[in-house]
Amino acid sequence: MLTTLFWGSVLQAYGPLVVMMFAVLAFHPTLAVLAMASAFVSLVPIQMTSFVYMLVIASHGGASVSAFDSNAANAADSGRGWIVVCGVIFQELTRLALAYGVVRAEWFFRTHHQVLFASRFRLLPVGAACGFGMAATLSLLQFGALLQAIEALGDPGVSVVNDQAVLWERGTCPQLPFVFFQALSWCFMSVCHVSWSAVMTTSVAALVDNGTLGPSTAPVENTSPIPPRFRAPIPRPTTLRPTDGRIAIFMVIVLHFIASTVSLVNSDAFDITTAEAVAGRGCITTLPVQATVMIASIALAWAAARLDVCKRVDSQDL
């Protein structure tokens, strides 16, 4: 039963990433390289958030950071809001830096009459690949939570006495097993990260192409090694206006804050005195909100794709 629950939760959590890897990245080496590079860069927000976590622990009397230290757990709970907010800020700064780096690389390639990746959707697949790498790295945290929950059940001192409490974690999610809740939550968040990175890259391209964040991406014909008679016209990196780009970036940040800060209600979801779930707390609130954010993120990426899609005659020019 536990083995089935664990592997089912793993497939539920990482299914979208695995499908994308085999359906898209495996057939496009350029996108695979970008995804791997983004995965390494995405270690930065994890390290920064861990540093904030240690500061929160230290600010509460220098408690140990051990997972079995009740003082550390209480300190982490009291400072969880700061940890979540700082985590979102670090992740969005990293996403913005990745998007800007990709757009500047695209600008460099265009000075030689080349592109990073030829697609009808311009830079959207490149941004999605960066989001895939970012989601893959951030998933390490969720995978650790799944392993910790299963290993706790394998401990005879825990499983014999309190297996139901560990399996269900009623203070967080009285309605579902804890590992299944974590799997559903990360399934939603991984899709969100891919959508957010795709939209962020296109939005930054709109600002760069307008000269807001740097030089225009218009190719310099004199530096291209391709003879003029063999050159084909290259569509603009995006058709979004700078105003559209700013609005899209703002929406990505807002959606990320909503999806992350809603996790703050994942505590005290079960009233021991009445043996009933507390209304408005726990996964009964978190999962619907994150699912709604996922749908909104997909819709935002779809809207950006619809605005940026090239006509077939233009895509053949690539």
The answer to the question of residue 145 being in a domain is yes
Q: Return the structure tokens found at 293.
A: 């954010």
The answer to the question of residue 18 being in a domain is yes
The answer to the question of residue 64 being in a domain is no
The answer to the question of residue 117 being in a domain is yes
pLDDT in tens, 25-67: 777 888 888 888 898 998 899 889 888 888 877 776 554 444 4
The answer to the question of residue 17 being in a domain is yes
pLDDT in tens, 242-254: 888 999 999 999 9
Spatial distance between the Cα atoms of 212 and 192, rounded to a whole number of angstroms: 27
pTM above 0.85, yes or no: no
Spatial distance between the Cα atoms of 69 and 77, rounded to a whole number of angstroms: 12
Give the CA dihedral 39, 45, 47, 53, nearest 10 degrees: -140
Is-contact 66 72, C-beta < 8 A?
Answer: yes
* Residue 211 falls in which region: left (phi positive, over 0), alpha (psi -120 to 50) or beta: left
Residue in the structure block whose two tokens are 């899609």: 309
pLDDT in tens, 168-206: 666 677 777 777 787 888 889 889 999 999 999 999 988
Query: What pLDDT is attached to residue 256?
Result: 94
The answer to the question of residue 65 being in a domain is no
The answer to the question of residue 130 being in a domain is yes
The answer to the question of residue 63 being in a domain is no
What single letter denotes the amino acid at residue 224? Answer: S
Give the range of the structural domain holding residue 301, as residue numbers without chain letter: 2-58+70-156+163-316
Residue in the structure block whose two tokens are 């780009």: 245
* Domain tally, the chain: 1
SS3 content of the chain, % helix, strand, coil (to 5): 75, 0, 25
Spatial distance between the Cα atoms of 270 and 170, rounded to a whole number of angstroms: 6
Q: What is the mean pLDDT of residues 226-251?
A: 78
Q: What is the mean pLDDT of residues 281-298?
A: 90
